[in-house]
Chains A and B, each alone.
Chain A
């Protein structure tokens, strides 16, 4: 079975500062890794994903994440926070290769951006 741990349920950053959201996973097989974002009163939107290949993955809205197998991590970063980044972010892992993908989510990290 796989699991995901997101360190910090709430993160507060100043506008223009670095955003760093931590995600560690456990999986017995090579994982697929995802970051989703939920803006207020909206659904889950895919930010980026890692499946195979390059370990540094770029996503939408200036976010990127790096898969580090040795550390079982997939931390999400953005160099400069914007007010519109205020949302809840979810890290997820999938290991199913057959009929579809079953996601296991972390607990989520709510980001507050201060002006």
Chain B
């Protein structure tokens, strides 16, 4: 069974550009999460989808971040325009309905220069 997959694994962009991160959850998992870790800080929750609906987006830092989950399958996280402080690792995770364990992908490393 394939795990949570994320693309790209690494991205270097200039300040002001746009980046789109993609996450494919484990097949059949209704819950999909985005987390991020900026340099030297804790891993922080960004948002949570249940199928295609946003259940909780309380962790989204500002309106430069837009997350979507098309048809309840894969998800994208767009940062537009990117700022220097957006640099970090963006983790996607998924879990089945009712489960108390979530499974993480390997992360997308974003560097904004």
Q: Is A43 an interface residue (CB 8 A)?
A: yes
Q: Are A43 and B43 in contact (CB under 8 A)?
A: no
State the majority secondary structure of interface residues on A. Answer: strand
Q: Which of B14-50 contact A (CB under 8 A)?
A: 30-31, 33, 35, 41-45, 48, 50
A107 to B48, CA, bound (A): 21
CB within 8 Å for A107 and B42 given contacts A99-B55, A100-B31, A100-B33: yes
In the complex, what's the smallest C-beta–C-beta distance from B40 to chain A, in angstroms?
A: 9
Q: Is B63 an interface residue (CB 8 A)?
A: no
Q: Is A104 an interface residue (CB 8 A)?
A: yes
Q: Is B91 an interface residue (CB 8 A)?
A: yes
Q: Are B48 and A100 in contact (CB under 8 A)?
A: yes
Q: Are A46 and B101 in contact (CB under 8 A)?
A: yes
State the majority secondary structure of interface residues on B. Answer: strand
Chain B residues within an 8 Å CB radius of A51? 100
User: Residue of B at shortest CB range from A42?
Assistant: B106
Chain B residues within an 8 Å CB radius of A45? 104
A102 to B44, CA, bound (A): 10
Q: Is A25 an interface residue (CB 8 A)?
A: no
Chain B residues within an 8 Å CB radius of A32? 100
Q: Are B104 and A36 in contact (CB under 8 A)?
A: yes
In the complex, what's the smallest C-beta–C-beta distance from A20 to chain B, in angstroms?
A: 21
Q: Can you list 8 A-B contacts with CB-CB less than 8 angstroms, sorted by A residue number?
A: A43-B4, A43-B104, A44-B43, A44-B104, A99-B31, A102-B45, A103-B45, A103-B102
